[in-house]
Structure 1
Amino acid sequence: MTSRMIGGAAFGAALFISGAALAEDAPKLTELSPNGADVCFGRIYDAAHLKAHAHQKVARIFFYYGHDPVSRPNEEPSALGDAAYNGFLTTTVRGARKPEWAAGWCNKEDPGDRASGIRCGMECDRTLASLKVDDKGRLILSNVQPDVYLDAGAEEDLGKAKYNEQALGSEDDNFRLDPMPADTCKAEFARIDPIDPALGAPLRQRLKPDQPFCYGRDYDDAHLKSHPDQVTQSIRVFRGPIELASFAASGDAANWPDGADIAVSVTTRQKGAKVTQTYSCQGEADQWRCSGSSKQKEIFLKRGASGTMMLANPNNALAIVDLCSKAAGGKTKSDDKVYRLNPMPQSACTP
């Protein structure tokens, strides 16, 4: 996923939407947007530049400051408000078919100092980028971290070779981006999530706010023998009476699936221990991004072919370990990344 999510160079990037902002709370950094409108900066590097910068992976880069440009008509709620983020970065590396993206909150490093720089922050106290505008109106994008599209602690999780493959290059920083029409950025972000009619209706239409569901998979001995690094023996994703009651009490059906609780049960094969965790989900592009009640790793749900559901956990971890920790325990192996789950009777998800 991009943190990495399903469908991107390794699954999409970005961050869990942590709140909503009113339209009047949109751009207020006048250095970036003097008139308060959404603004776009971008650059597409030619072959000569890339040849001269062998360690630069990024071939296309765009930064959008303003309202969410990523929302798509798949899993996004029909009445979705603006995301709390106001800074959106998307890059396409050499040879990639689609961009990756991340979002953050951009503010003055020192609100009391008019000359202060601008920092765009992310979850887990990470940095998306530092920004400034030069005297020609170009955006200087610096302090871009190599793991901007990866989870915290990804280098330890993935190992050095895999991390270097998925991270940005050593020359992917200090970008100078030209001002462009806002529609140019919107078109670039639209490349992230092209609608795929072959997959049928979005999850938000298949799975109703007031109806239970159960998806899962039990792995047989033959499968586990052929996947020695897989820890998961059995997995369930469901909404039952507790989750339905929670949404009925405080959810907003017009914004479905935002605020939808789901439960995930995982049984590991070493000890046969079963762990169940509750997550709260948000519609994000063509998937649901779901966060645990503490700092458990986020999970992502996406419609699969023939009525299946895809569940993904970024960076080789089951959904029960600390999201922000660089040394979280309970790591799993590479075969526990992505699950293709089948619809099951509700009785299969009964605790």
Structure 2
Amino acid sequence: MTSRMVVAIAAGAALFRVGAALADDAPKLPELSPNGADACFGRVYDAAHLKAHPKQKVARIFFFYGHDPVSRPNEEPMANADTSYNGFLTTTVRGAKKPEWAAGWCNKEDPSDKASGIRCGMECDRTLASLKVDDKGRLIVSNVQPDVYLDAGAEEDLGTAQYNKQALGSEDDNFRLDPMPAATCKAEFARIDPIDPALGAPLRERLKPDQPFCYGRDYDAAHLASHPDQVTQSIRVFRGPVELASFAAGGDVANWPDGADIAVSVTTRQKSGKVTQTYACQGEADQWRCSASSKMSDFSCDISQKEIFLKRGANGTMMLANPNSALAIVDLCSKAAEGKTTSDDKVYRLNPMPQSACSP
């Protein structure tokens, strides 16, 4: 299990794929969007059509041209946001509970020719689709590759049988989509990974660069008795005067939370005193990825590869994941700290606390 997966489990939801952030520029292909607004095209196939086309897997298909309908507030700095995608395809195959999606860049194949077709490209010089609008305003989506949702080289990696199972069908091309309200496409893309309103704003908005914070938890005897393999008795995650001064001296507010230092203090069943470790964080998708640093550390070895992950939890809580022995419940320089955490000290749900609860 990867560390990213561990954090996802901690939050009780699957990781969502984060696409490009909201684009600043209005759509520039008048064929798709005559007024420069976001444009939506879609079709839901009925049972009769699907029965007549047994090799068509796609039961629902929508194409959105404009600002990214998939991304949502996340932990990556807005200064680093990719604003280049402008075409988004989503399909739901027969029997699937939710759609798959892909994004690309849509441009005229020949910008100097008004009659030129439109090609939407993807990473690795792949094609998302070719587009044209017919005389009734419907969008013709063609050149859709069977592996549009798979990695390049997937057929070789997966083998023929598994590839055919995951790829689109031989009749999944040349779709004729009707113009629809932009809200219809946004609602369809929202089915991919529904937003949990209890999560609220991302940590990078909730926690300010120039303000301290303190989160923690003290485990009572009943909890520890029911979790005999948990070593942690008390834990605190905080930014105090030292961490604030460090960011003020060298941090870039526009790239927050990249470069943010946090401190983690742990008291274990075996130790009477606290052990404190500092981590340097950066935003990554829907979490902060924090590497152990030598600042304010009780250890002197190279521990930069020891990482923890912070993620927003429901109702104002913070989730901390320690998948690879990255908390100072053991000496981070010791053999015991190598590899994955073997105790129950992997995922913590922390509550906001007064700053005094995180004082040395």
Do they superpose with TM above 0.5? yes
Give deviations 1:224-264, integer Å, cap 9, x for gaps: xxxxxxxxxxxxxxxxxxxxx999857545x646x679xxx
Provide the secondary structure at the position in 2 that maps to 1:114. coil
Shift of 1:307: 3.6
Shift of 1:308: 5.7
Could you say which residue in structure 2 is the equivalent of 1:266? none
Shift of 1:173: 1.0
Give deviations 1:138-187, integer Å, cap 9, x for gaps: 00011111111111112222222222222111111111100000111111
CA distance 1:138–1:308, change in 2 (3 Å): same
CA distance 1:183–1:198, change in 2 (3 Å): closer
Asked if 1:177 corresponds to 2:177, the answer is: yes
Could you say which residue in structure 2 is the equivalent of 1:116? 116
Could you say which residue in structure 2 is the equivalent of 1:33? 33
After TM superposition, where is structure 1 displaced by more than 3 Å over at least 4 residues in a row?
Answer: 10-15, 73-82, 196-211, 245-253, 279-283, 286-289, 301-310, 340-343, 345-351
CA distance 1:130–1:88, change in 2 (3 Å): same
The code of the aligned residue for 1:142 comes to S
Any stretches of 5+ residues in structure 1 without a counterpart? 212-244, 262-278, 290-300, 311-339
Aligned with residue 344 of structure 1, among 327, 339, 344: 327
Could you say which residue in structure 1 is the equivalent of 2:298? none
Q: How many positions carry a matched residue from both structures?
A: 251
Could you say which residue in structure 2 is the equivalent of 1:64? 64
The code of the aligned residue for 1:85 comes to Y
Any stretches of 5+ residues in structure 2 without a counterpart? 213-245, 261-280, 290-308, 339-360
Contact 1:68/1:82 (<8 A) preserved: no
Shift of 1:130: 0.6
Give deviations 1:75-111, integer Å, cap 9, x for gaps: 5768997732111111111111111111111100111
Could you say which residue in structure 2 is the equivalent of 1:92? 92
Could you say which residue in structure 1 is the equivalent of 2:141? 141
CA distance 1:121–1:52, change in 2 (3 Å): same
Shift of 1:71: 2.5
188-197 or 174-183: which moved more?
188-197
Give deviations 1:180-205, integer Å, cap 9, x for gaps: 00111111111112124688985657
CA distance 1:49–1:77, change in 2 (3 Å): farther
Between the aligned partners of 1:144 and 1:198, the Cα distance in structure 2 is: 37
TM-score, normalising length: structure 2: 0.56
Structure number, greater radius of gyration: 2
The code of the aligned residue for 1:29 comes to L
CA distance 1:81–1:139, change in 2 (3 Å): same
Provide the secondary structure at the position in 2 that maps to 1:63. strand
Please show how residues 144-293 of structure 1 align to structure 2 within 5 Å: 144-196=144-196, 251-252=252-253, 256=256, 283=285
The code of the aligned residue for 1:111 comes to P
Contact 2:310/2:319 (<8 A) preserved: no
The code of the aligned residue for 2:110 comes to D
Contact 2:76/2:283 (<8 A) preserved: no
TM-score, normalising length: structure 1: 0.57
Contact 2:288/2:310 (<8 A) preserved: yes
Contact 1:87/1:103 (<8 A) preserved: yes
Provide the secondary structure at the position in 2 that maps to 1:83. coil
46-55 or 134-143: which moved more?
46-55
Contact 1:309/1:341 (<8 A) preserved: no
Asked if 1:104 corresponds to 2:104, the answer is: yes
Shift of 1:40: 0.4
Let me know the Cα RMSD of the aligned residues. Answer: 4.5
149-158 or 25-34: which moved more?
149-158
Between the aligned partners of 1:53 and 1:165, the Cα distance in structure 2 is: 17
Give deviations 1:193-218, integer Å, cap 9, x for gaps: 2124688985657998799xxxxxxx
Between the aligned partners of 2:55 and 2:310, the Cα distance in structure 1 is: 34
Between the aligned partners of 1:199 and 1:343, the Cα distance in structure 2 is: 25
CA distance 1:203–1:49, change in 2 (3 Å): farther
CA distance 1:126–1:98, change in 2 (3 Å): same
Shift of 1:37: 0.8
